[in-house]
Amino acid sequence: MEFLFGARRGQKTFKPKKSIPEGTHRYDLLRHASATLGSGADLREAVQLPDGEDLNEWVAVHIVDFFNQISMLYGTITEFCTSQRCPLMSAGPKYEYHWADGQTVKKPIKCSAPQYIDYLMTWVQQQLDDEAMFPSKIGVPFPKNFLTNAKTILKRLFRVYAHIYHQHLRDVIALEEEAHLNTSFKHFTFFIQEFNLVEKKELVPLQELIDELNNRASKAAIR
């Protein structure tokens, strides 16, 4: 949630912040999620679907939130993530991502990390602005393929975390943003695991970190 990030000098949002209109049920859900996270509750409990709430609504709220979190996190290191320093979108030496959205770019293309992330975040933003996919009006149902599309969005957002951890962790530490990155990724990880939203094979680049987060959470729960 937004409160995870301090207002550091020079900190910026990579893409325009996507807001949820006040007075809507989705805004109330966002406030509920923020309050739960801020109460010191276990993150695994905080991401659980509230009683009586619609799963699609809950997922939609979190996608907007993760989009904003990742945009802000990446915004802090854009000066380091350049086409010269990151000529390929990668997560370490073993994992390389090629861009394709199935519409304007049908055949996967190699591109630099900043170009890939720009493509990715622009694509997510277009999904969020699509009333047919993310309806904002009361009474308008989500499409039947919403969760399928949501899984694709979250899979691609994960790749930004993976790139930051593998290629820019030193930059993040130098900026004293490591705690923000870790908290954001932990929230993201527990959410996608709670609802099985990203296939395990996609998480392999950060599997060791994910295992560590899960182990710590399990030990804390035993205490």
Q: What is the pLDDT of residues 108-135, one digit of tens each?
A: 999 999 999 999 999 999 999 999 999 9
Give the range of the structural domain holding residue 48, as residue numbers without chain letter.
17-222
What is the value of pTM for the model shown? 0.86
- Give the total number of structural domains in the chain: 1
pLDDT, average across residues 172-185? 94
Q: Which of 32-41, 46-55, 57-66, 160-169 has the lowest mean pLDDT?
A: 32-41
Q: Which of 41-55, 86-100, 139-153, 183-197 has the lowest mean pLDDT?
A: 41-55
CATH number at residue 217: 1.20.140.30
Task: Answer whether residue 110 is part of any domain.
Answer: yes
The secondary structure of 27-91 as a DSSP string is HHHHHHHHHHHHTT--HHHHTSPPTT--HHHHHHHHHHHHHHHHHHHHHTSTTT--TTT-SS-BS
Q: Is 111 annotated as contributing to ligand binding?
A: no
Examine the pLDDT at 221 and tell me if it is beyond 60: yes
Examine the pLDDT at 89 and tell me if it is beyond 90: yes
Task: Answer whether residue 22 is part of any domain.
Answer: yes
